[in-house]
Chain A
Amino acid sequence: MSVANRPVHRPLSPHLQVYRPQLTTVLSILHRATGIALSVGALYLATWVIYAAASPKAYALFQSFNTSIVGRVVLGGWLFCAFYHLCNGIRHLFWDAGYGFELKDAYRSGWIVVTVSLIATAVSWVVGLRLV
């Protein structure tokens, strides 16, 4: 192995373990986490349509899970992920267009995203899923 190819073991940045979590970093990680959750959720919702096309029995089976406690939590969680990823995604599109990079703007838009997505989630839970 040549000198240039030899692996060098240096500490890697960023040193997550010594950083205090900040709004901006937490929201960034949450965007990824909700994105992954929504991808799995998309398969679940595709399955819903497939069961509806299959037979009344298959659909009833699917709905019995949907209306159970676990199913309500899954749907409620999906709605939160959808609203959060939607709001924060719009925030990302503004960044892509070159707006909102100042620190105070990034914090303000971050809190707007948190507020709007929590309100939308709460409304959907109360009105639709009747979780409360």
Chain B
Amino acid sequence: MSDLRTPLARARGLGSAREGVKHWWAQRLTAIALIPLVVWFAISLVMLSGADYEVARAWIGSPLVMVLLILTIVIGLHHGQLGLQVVIEDYVHGDGWKLALIVAVRFVAVVFGVAAVVAILRIGFGG
């Protein structure tokens, strides 16, 4: 069946170069932010990998660590979501699957991010 719409009409609404820049920028900004955060987090992880309950909670609950940990997790998940979106866009060709996977990745990132932030605040403020 032939499509009577012009190629321009078919292309409209499928996104523009202007929108892509937003994703590109967000990926770079989160990358730059993660440089010091990941160095800090990797060192902390190495020191705390065998920590017991009390030690781990005391560490997570201290004010500076709370701030850095929330930043690391939220920015890290955002950066991961942006990166996975590019991978999905490159390798998944069906439009339905592509959209479903991108949405699923975003939902999982938000759920884990919110849960982790709530957990950190609960440890810090005692609940």
Point out the residues of chain A lying under 8 angstroms from B50, CB to CB. Answer: 63, 66-67
Q: Which of B32, B38, B42, B49 contacts A66 (CB 8 A)?
A: B49
Residue count of chain A within 8 Å CB distance of chain B: 40
Q: A49-B69, A93-B28 are in contact. Are A5 and B84 (CB under 8 A)?
A: no
Q: Could you say which interface size class chain B belongs to?
A: 35 or more
In the complex, what residue of chain B is closest to A92 when comparing beta carbons? B31
A86 and B35 CA atoms in complex are apart in Å by 7
A64 to chain B, nearest CB (A): 11
A contact patch SS: helix
The answer to whether A52 and B123 touch across the interface, beta carbons within 8 angstroms, is yes
Point out the residues of chain A lying under 8 angstroms from B127, CB to CB. Answer: 53
Question: In residues 33-60 of chain B, which contact A (Cβ within 8 Å)?
Answer: 34-35, 38-39, 42, 45-47, 49-53, 56-57, 60
Point out the residues of chain A lying under 8 angstroms from B119, CB to CB. Answer: 49-50, 52-54
Q: Which of A50, A52, A120 contacts B115 (CB 8 A)?
A: A50
